[in-house]
Amino acid sequence: MTIKTIKSIFQFSLFISLGLMINSCIDKSKHMDNIDSKAIIYPNDVIPFMDKWRILLGDGTRSDSLVNFRKSNFFYVESDDNTNWVVYKTPNSGITSRTSSNTRTELGEKQHWIPEVGGKLTGTLKVQHVSTTGDASVPSSFSVVVGQIHSDEGHENEPLKIFYKKFPGHKKGSVFWNYEINTAGDNSGRWDFSTVVWGTDWATVGTSPDGYPNEPEDGIALGEEFSYVVNVYKGMMYLSFSSEGHETKTFTKNLLQSDFSEKEDIPKQVLVVYASKNGGGVERDSAYAGEIQFFKQGAYNQANGKSTKSETYNGDIAKQYENGSYAEVWFRAGTIGAGTSPNN
């Protein structure tokens, strides 16, 4: 056998070996890709309705497509006791919408509707953290909004905000909902009226920035699961709240006819809360009739460096997360759709 022939055989063998090695690497890479892709759980894998929403995150990130979308430290999935939860996390200070000084990692419904047509939103959740800094005498301190109805025209007010609030040092917090009037004339006299579900409403505040009220006996602890149903049907808003070990609460509110169209209709709670503010307005007779609305769900952090004097570390998100200046809400279930008759 000539040297030339031996050299050719060697080159051919080397070529075959390299080919086998490359194929092996490719197969291994594909296998690892499959493993990695299977390991990723997206929020829409947990709650499939994500195609109905867009999102704004606490760092200002926006997305209109939430299928196979996630972002570490803001919108992702955690597992707890073999249950997957969608996590909404947001700092006290970040980048937010044009109409608010509060940051959020929150869904916004793509489809809009008027109260006469209505819609229905449900959620099962637990609040894992609220800001540990703030002014106890300010109603929105130490709280997060976990569900909303938001107007998309007129004053762009909110006929519904569902709150969770817990004072530092307390084991139990409160769940309550607020109705914001659709102010007649300009919006300078707008105000919220708060209704307690469990615990106390937002009018229960501290006597000073660090003087906390008594802990509610029937409150909800951090990490304690509860559910809500918001059902708007033919202009009426039907609310239901449930949690194991707590009394189920239901409420009804007319969104087409105001309860607050005269000065004498302003509740005492409002006069107390807004005593030092311009909150003496009245609502238009037709409330939110004919006005475009949409649902929101997630973590709308009410702590900020302006009104609640919450610590923000100059907007450094990492420092805020390290030092308790954030809100974190976990949802394991939710639905969105058309309003339904309360009699069904």
pLDDT tens-place string over residues 283-318: 999 999 999 999 999 999 999 999 999 999 999 999
| Straight-line distance from the first to the last Cα atom of the chain, in angstroms, rounded to the nearest whole number | 92
Q: Work out the average pLDDT over 73-77.
A: 98
Picking from 230, 207, 58, the residue whose alpha carbon sits closest to that of residue 150 is: 230
Say yes or no to pLDDT of 65 above 80: yes
The phi, psi pair for 106, rounded to 5°, reads: -145, 140
Q: How far apart are CA 147 and CA 180, in angstroms?
A: 14
Supply the pTM of this predicted model: 0.89
Residue 45: which residues within 8 A CB-CB, separation 6 or more? 77, 84
Structure tokens at 335: 């639905």
DSSP, res 50: G
> Helices H, strands E: what count in the chain?
4, 16
The pLDDT of residue 5: 47
DSSP 3-state assignment of 82?
Answer: coil
DSSP 3-state assignment of 81?
Answer: coil
The phi, psi pair for 31, rounded to 5°, reads: -65, -45
Picking from 108, 290, 308, 118, the residue whose alpha carbon sits closest to that of residue 205 is: 308
pLDDT tens-place string over residues 149-167: 999 999 999 999 999 999 9
Q: How far apart are CA 335 and CA 49, in angstroms?
A: 7
Identity of residue 187: N
Q: What CATH number has the domain spanning 47-337?
A: 2.60.120.200
pLDDT tens-place string over residues 312-326: 999 999 999 999 999
Residue 207: which residues within 8 A CB-CB, separation 6 or more? 136, 137, 213
